[in-house]
Structure 1
Amino acid sequence: MTKTRTGLEQQKKPRLRFVLTWHDFGIFLSLLSFATILCYFLRTIDDSDVYVALIFELTVVLVSRFTDGYLFGLLSSVVGVIGINYIFTFPYYQLNFTISGYPLTFLVMLIVSVVVSTLTTQIKQQEKIRAEAEKEKMRGNLLRAVSHDIRTPLTSIVGGVSTLLDSGDQLDEATRTQLLENIRDESNWLVSVVENLLSVT
């Protein structure tokens, strides 16, 4: 029992996931493109580049938040740091890995992407578990309601048939007819319940 519970708990723990989908790639590409265009625009207004790192750090947060797994969060960190170095750091359009603070910027953006991706993955998994629990609860309520609706006409049908079989000869024609009509009505009700159930499922 302990081993089974431990196994289930391990399955629920968030694992390092590298998921590649076109949807996530579109989010990744759109956010990085927007950040680059925004930085270009701001540079025409202000020669200072202090905002560039902040914008790309925010982009890393958004990519990590709105994509699944860790792949695009980590990738946005790498692309963001290289983009800052190549496009927005003097000398422009040249890679210079000896710039002061460059390793720290890369490390901060990498940590941000991992932390946000981890938190997002945990939240999504918790939401999935909660949704599954709600679904199971609704299924249980539905089964209880359906079982009650089915049991009631079945009880009437069984009771009517038993009466006809056990003491049908002792009943007058009107009583037998009434019992048969009740059996027919309950059978029709049972058919309608089953049809409604099938239409829902």
Structure 2
Amino acid sequence: YIAPLKSLARERLKEWQKRLGSKPLNWRVLELSGDTHHDQGALEKADILICTPEKWDLVSRGWRGIAETMSGTSAANGKSFVKRVKLLVVDEIHLLGEERGCVLEAIIARTRFISHVLKHENGDTQSGEPEATRIVGLSTALENPLDLAAWIGIDTTSHKPSARRGMYNFRPSVRPVPIVAHVQGFSGKHYCPRMATMNKPCFAAIKHHSPEKPV
């Protein structure tokens, strides 16, 4: 699971350790970011890794597990566990267009390459066979969802709805908790400066529309 922020990664870690780390699943959930360090054994045994984009980009570069073979260290196969990843979930995938988007692009492109290599090694050369690694992108509303879907491997060329089974649009009506939306526009093309500009107006808007609820 790729989280764009360390705070979101920690939030998911606490939530999933509580939900998935107990019986009957007893899955091992680890956070992998610049503030954490785990030995090789812990990474090998983990069922779920929660990472920041930069950390997973660094780790996945050694996916072949042979980067340090010449040195004779035990780390020669240290990152080969990357090849065993069966599901990559990229949260806030719409940030591809922002300053840090190049890291997300590298992660997804590398994952697709690894998936194709493993698929070929396993002899699954037919076009109808599923990829070795499934990629799920979570996003807010997008202007070009078909382009993004095609890039991560979804067939968007057919006009039949059944051919686009990999792309879903969840309307507000399916939310477990109803929501009332109020729209207020802000100028600014770049994500981080725009977020900073929105802080105070958003706080004031929340207090105005929901004065009795905590912020």
Is TM more than 0.5 here?
no
TM-score under structure 1 length normalisation: 0.30
Q: Which has the higher helix share?
A: 1
TM-score by length of 2: 0.28
Higher relative contact order (CA 8 A, sep 6+): 1
Higher-Rg structure is: 1
